[in-house]
Structures are given as C-alpha cells and as structure tokens.
Structure 1
C-alpha cells in the first residue's frame, strides 16, 4: 500500500471531522499563538516510501499540520539501517524545523552496533509518541498448536529447536521471538527472511511452522484462514484483532512487544517548538478520522507527552539490550 492509497482526499479538515469547538479553542491557546511554526516542518522518515512506518507518519503528520497551521513535509531517507537519517537530524539546526520519525530500530541499533555517530539518549529529545504496530505470532493452518502455551509445550517436547521466521535479523519481530525463548527457557531457531512477504509465503506453503510478524502483514491471511493467530504480543488486546488473546492473557505476564514510531528532535530544540508539535500530534491522534485510517494500516495511535515518551524509550532500550546481549546479535 503506497502513501497515495492511504492519504486519499483531504478528509482531515477539522470542520468535517467533528473535533469540536471546545477542542479547537484549546488548540488556539498559547502554544499555537507564539512564533513557532512560521514555515513548514521537515519530518525525516528513515525508511523508503510506502512502508508501514512511512505511511503511518504521513497520516499523523497531515492531520497535525492542519492543527498547527503549517505543513509537516515528510522526506524519506532510507538505507543505512536508519543510521543515515538519524545522523542527519542529529546534525540539523535545533530550531524545530527538522525532526525525525524514530522507530524501534533506533534503540536496537544502540544495543547491537558499536561506534554509532550519535547517542540517541543525549543527541535527540522526545516530542511525541505516534503509534504502535502490534505483532502477532502466527502458525501455518495445520500446525498442531493453536495457543502460545501449546507452542511452548511443543518446543519443549521437540528433539531439535523449533524454527520461527521473521522479516530479517535484528528486526523487532526477530527479537520478539528471541525474547519469548528467553522468558520461557525453550529453544527456538530463527530463520531470517528479507521481508515479511517471503516469510509469510513459506509459512503458508508449509516450509515453516511459526512466524513472528507485524499485524499489518498478516491480518488478511488470518482473516482468510490461511494462517492461524496464536497470540498478540502487546499487553492489551488490539482492536484490530479483538478475538485473539495476548501473551499476557495466556500466562506470560511481562511480555509486551510492538514495533513503534515516535517523533524526536535535535538536542537544543526550543521548548516552544516541542510543546507546539506535541499538542498538535496529540490532538491529531485523538481524531476518529486518524484512528480509522491507522487501523487500516495495522497501527494504533498512541499520543503522549515528551516525558512519557522518554520513559517508554528507556524501557524499550533496556529490554532489547537484554535480548541482544543474550543472543550475541551482530548486524549483518
């Protein structure tokens, strides 16, 4: 699905989406009455156009731009495992007019790579959480297990490690599988693919038995019955698959995993700019139009304050650093 398929017509005009006079009055307060922004704001996405992170950010950015009074202009700078784009934003003028779409990859890179040209904890400042992209554990249709407990039992009984696939080494889906193995003490063998599409094809074809994947990539196959969902990896059930229980519900109380994207800015960005952007995105993510459009993408909007985002990213960094150390992950 490309950006043009998602963005559609300008359906985010406030008067048509019932944000309400009270909300509009609140948005017209001090944070939007100051000098920022006086021109468009560049949002760097560290992936190629058309992917889940890119399109999700475009949906949020268009709505936030309508609210803040200036466009958020999305620019894609893929490659370099997100390091190239992140470095560019770290080195940009800290004036609020260049910001970064920070994905989960950023904190994974910090744990798995040496000599990065930046330290995200000190060179970037949090602005707003944008969305989470739940993961789902799926099995081929005829697999002899239908729950995570049954999968765990099968892995314990197996003579050789049970194999699972993901869209690539070092991805959130890969590490989600490794985390499950660490938390349960079972043996799993990762089979990396170059993308979730090929992994899903082999799962449906019977070459593989289990895959950890983003909801967006497998929801159609789950609904069509070509694969079956064993569990959702987020702490709470997703409204996108309300009938599928979480791993927490199945007896894994500390298992809460998702891909995510957030908005961050260079260190030294004025507080006025951070506050204005945070308020715009929080209001945009609360609109039903944005929530509906993100649902199609397999994403769940998660607005929040800079302090909440900082705490969340620190927790994520610690969790993935634990997994990276345990499996000795090195970038390809």
Structure 2
C-alpha cells in the first residue's frame, strides 16, 4: 500500500527527513511515534503530497508520487482520508454539512450524499448530533465528525495526525476503539502519527520510532517495546538499573505463559537460587505481554538458558556496560 525508499526532505537547509525507509501493508495499523520535532508530521504530509520530498521514492497504492500530474494527485487523494489534531471543522456548518463537504466538492448527487452521511454518522455513533453545530460538541464528538468526513470518499488509507493528543484519556480510548473498528470492518489501512506511546500499544500492529528525522527502529509493536535496543531505550525514557555482580538474564514471556509459571518452573525444576531484579507488563492491542530480568550466579547461566530454550521462551543475557 505504502512504500518509502531513501526519502529525504529539508527546509531552508535543515534536513528534517533522513533516508526514510518504510513499508506499510494493506490492513496494517502503523504507528509513527517520536518526540516533538522528530519529523513525524512532515513524513505524513509527504504521503498525501501536501509536502514534496527532495529525493527518494514515495509509492502510494502503486503510484510514485513524483510521477503524478496535479490532476492525478487530486484523484489519488480521494483514496486517502486524513484526520487532524484540531479537528478542522467548519464552525458555520453543522455535523451533516461538515461530513458532506468532500462529497459536495466531488459533485455527488444529493440522494447519495444524504444516504452516505447518514451511514457515516451511524458508524461513528453521532446519530443524535447530526444537526448540531461544532460549538455544541465535545472534543471527542468533534473528532468523530472529523473521522466520518475522512471516510466520506471511501478511502483505502486513513492518515491520522496526532488525532488523540487534544483529548482526555477516556475519550482517547473511545476514539482508538473507533479507528480499530474502522480498520477491521472496512479493511482500511491506517497510518497514525503520535507522540503518545500508549496510543501505539493500544491499536497498532507495527511501529516506526523516529528521532531527529531518522527512523531509529521499525517492526512489530511487541518487538520494539519489549526488546528495545539502547537507542530505543533512550527514546522511550527507559533505563534498566541492574546488579553489576552475577549474570542478568532477560526473559520475554508471551500471552501463553504467565510470569509466575516461568519463574516457579525455573526454581522447581532446576533447584537454583536467583533474584527478580526488573520486570514489566505491557498491553498490546488485545494481548498482555511482559518481560523480566533475573540475576543469578554465573555457574547457573547455562542450565537456565537451556531450560528456557526447551520451553521456546525468548531470552537474552544483558551485558553490563563498561
């Protein structure tokens, strides 16, 4: 659906995108996450040709953007919906008219518009607000209108630019549930830009972490958040403080295992002593996964690692920094 190869972009000599490579498959919910100024929104705007790029390749649904005429870009944008942090609703138009706007621009007939908007209002749960003005809506309701408007032209891809950052936690959760529902029921691919790590963990199946215009890591959400390298730990603000003596073994347990089951099995079957020195549980979409670090005597290292291998449990020995 989306493929970026060695994409670079600069503003007034300041490079904001550096050799960006990213592949988004149909049906994915991909999060692009990073701190403010990382280049996330610029990258997103390159996907719908709101920003040009200096070099590299951006292919959307089989079309290289640089090769498209202005008319072809306009047609391509029909297949891309976009929602914004600040909703971007027209204050003088009611909910119905805001959602209908893209359809009117493309000259759909009134009967089609009436039916389409009615269905979209139902999809986003605003049937009782269809004639309300934006000033009478909450932030979450305004974003639902924005989502409905983004879906008006039946897009194949939905681009979300900090769509939940202006919302409270409960409203954020409901909006994320709606986006997930749209992805599953309409088979729409979603690219979601955010600085909120919890948003990515809640609905994304893949994630790209950006810092200073570069993608520092890319993969499944579970891979990156449960097993981050040193650069990603810094970006995520994590710092494992571990004992300098003995050997530290990090164990990753999937949903099929419980933390308690793994630990008691090691203690019971190997009859060795160890300490749990670090651990965390993370919720990813519908799964709860986790990791922990045990510290033990060097002489037990081989037996523990063999035991974990026999149970097909992922592990790694964490070397102490010099």
Instruction: State the TM-score, normalized to the length of structure 1.
Output: 0.26
Which has the larger strand fraction? 2
Greater RCO (Cα-Cα under 8 Å, separation 6 or more): 1
Which has the larger helix fraction? 1
Instruction: State the TM-score, normalized to the length of structure 2.
Output: 0.27
